[in-house]
Amino acid sequence: MRHPFHLKTLSVAVAALSVASVASAAGLDRSGQDITAFLQDGTYAEAAYTYIDADVTGKDSSGNKIDDIAESYDFFRYGVKTDINDTFSIGVLYDEPFGAAADYSGKNDFVSNEQNPSLPLTPPNGESTNVEVRTESITGIVGAKIGENKNFQVYGGPVAQRVKADVKLRGKAYERADGYTLHTSADQDYGWLAGVAYSKPEIALKAALTYRSEIEHNTQASEVYPFVDYLPAGLGLVSNRSDNIEITTPESVNFDFQTGINPTTLATAKVRWVPWSDFAIVPSLYNDVSKLNSAYGPDGLALVSYDDDQWQVELGLAKRLAPALAISGTVGWDSGAGNPVSSLGPIEGYYSAGLGAKYNVTENWAISAGGKYLWFGDAKGQIPSKTIVSDFESNDGFVLGVKVSYQAQ
């Protein structure tokens, strides 16, 4: 006999759309840092895979076509939790919260296939602008249920995060920074998470507010800046430098909500805030060269920065069609992190629509699959000096996810 979906555990009817959380969203956001695995009842474990494919095309300021710059991107998420007793729970979560994958190609101002008037002695080499940023996080959580009926839960724990990045700026769009290269060594550092949740099982109501701290990484950065060879030797700058760099991944706040509408239908809502306006990548050589131009002030330029904070909202419905089968749908909106935005990720948020399904293979095991279609906001790409160098319009993408889960109560 198949395990039925009871109203008190109707949350399991939500299909794998949460694994298909974000794609090329504001800033470097990727996974959405979901913690709902920890909020499940009893012993719970999941393994999820997400694949992202976006189509981001446009034109440079010279009118040349820019072919799709968004590389396909995938990542995994794992989670396990268990109840020690009716008060305390523990869990471990793994995800890849932030990232970027972009690569220019063709004949445009982001590929070194024409002579750059700012660097007349540099021969064309056909190299293209690209960026790759990857992060990994492991979160340990301890929760305690409080109150007369154990309806409230407070939880928190440490976060270990690893980050690495590679950036190449190529083409005359970057003016004198054409040929600049940055490589950062992988670095692991630590932050924390804290939150509070409320549940009312008789109507499948769960609400959780989760805060994640920023995490400050100090790692080694290797830079190559060919333009420095044109500068007077008396300035004391050389075109190759290895130095420490500080990269602080941002704090965030997530709100997760669900409630039963009737014994077979669940409504869900997610809200996420990330202050990308506080984020910046400031390599020392790039910054020192920019300070030579008085127009950029005493602080110089950051290689990557954003003007606005990110807001993300997603609303959904899940419906049980049979004792072992449920479907769900979502609509969503992401504000983006400003416009104009970095030429390394020229998207101003998105609107999304998704569908998913979950099937209980046995009483404890289930498989979920889902997908989303995304309509990206038009954006103008800018270089760090705020000069607009590209225009991207009418772009879209899709996200696919699959999840295997186990639950015993």
**Residue 71: which pLDDT band, with cuts at 50, 70 and 90?**
confident
CATH number at residue 260: 2.40.160.60
Does 213 map to a domain?
yes
- Decide: helix, strand or coil at residue 178: coil
Does 284 map to a domain?
yes
User: Which pLDDT tens digit goes with each residue over 142-195?
Assistant: 999 999 899 999 999 999 999 999 999 999 999 999 999 999 999 999 999 999
Does 71 map to a domain?
yes
Does 2 map to a domain?
no
**What does the CA dihedral 165, 171, 174, 180 come to, rounded to 10 degrees?**
40
What pLDDT is stored for residue 12 in this prediction?
A: 47
State which residues form the domain around 120.
7-408
**Residue 25: which pLDDT band, with cuts at 50, 70 and 90?**
low
Question: Between 335 and 125, where is the model more confident?
Answer: 335
C-alpha 35/C-alpha 214 separation (Å) is: 17
**Residue 112: which pLDDT band, with cuts at 50, 70 and 90?**
confident
What pLDDT is stored for residue 30 in this prediction?
A: 85
The beta strand positions in 84-170, using DSSP E, are 88-95, 99-103, 130-146, 152-168
**Residue 224: which pLDDT band, with cuts at 50, 70 and 90?**
very high
**Residue 207: which pLDDT band, with cuts at 50, 70 and 90?**
very high
Question: Between 6 and 362, where is the model more confident?
Answer: 362
H or E, element range at 193:
strand 181-200
> Is the pLDDT reported for residue 21 higher than 60?
no
User: Which pLDDT tens digit goes with each residue over 225-243?
Assistant: 999 999 998 788 999 999 9
The arithmetic mean of pLDDT across residues 335-346, rounded, is 90
What pLDDT is stored for residue 198 in this prediction?
A: 97
What pLDDT is stored for residue 297 in this prediction?
A: 85
Does 124 map to a domain?
yes
Round the average pLDDT of the chain to a whole number and report it.
89
> Is the pLDDT reported for residue 4 higher than 50?
no
H or E, element range at 398:
strand 396-408
pTM: 0.92
H or E, element range at 388:
strand 388-392
Does 1 map to a domain?
no
Question: Between 26 and 366, where is the model more confident?
Answer: 366
What pLDDT is stored for residue 73 in this prediction?
A: 83
Does 35 map to a domain?
yes
> Is the pLDDT reported for residue 118 higher than 70?
no
Number of Cα atoms under 13 Å in the Cβ half of residue 81: 25
Long-range contacts from 272-275, C-beta under 8 angstroms, 24+ separation: 272/32, 272/33, 272/310, 272/311, 272/312, 272/313, 273/309, 273/310, 273/311, 273/312, 274/26, 274/27, 274/29, 274/250, 274/309, 274/310, 275/250, 275/251, 275/309, 275/310
> Is the pLDDT reported for residue 252 higher than 80?
yes
Q: Specify the range with the lowest mean pLDDT, choosing from 9-13, 24-28, 219-223, 300-304.
A: 9-13
**Residue 1: which pLDDT band, with cuts at 50, 70 and 90?**
very low
What pLDDT is stored for residue 115 in this prediction?
A: 65
User: Which pLDDT tens digit goes with each residue over 366-409?
Assistant: 999 989 999 999 999 999 999 999 999 999 999 999 999 999 97
User: Which pLDDT tens digit goes with each residue over 276-286?
Assistant: 999 999 999 99
Q: How many domains does the chain have?
A: 1
User: Which pLDDT tens digit goes with each residue over 176-190?
Assistant: 999 999 999 999 999
CB 341 within 8 A of CB 381: yes
CB 211 within 8 A of CB 257: no
> Is the pLDDT reported for residue 7 higher than 90?
no
CB 301 within 8 A of CB 287: yes
C-alpha 150/C-alpha 153 separation (Å) is: 7
Q: Is 200 exposed, middle or buried (0-12, 13-18, 19+ CB in 10 A)?
A: middle
> Is the pLDDT reported for residue 333 higher than 80?
yes
> Is the pLDDT reported for residue 22 higher than 80?
no
Does 128 map to a domain?
yes
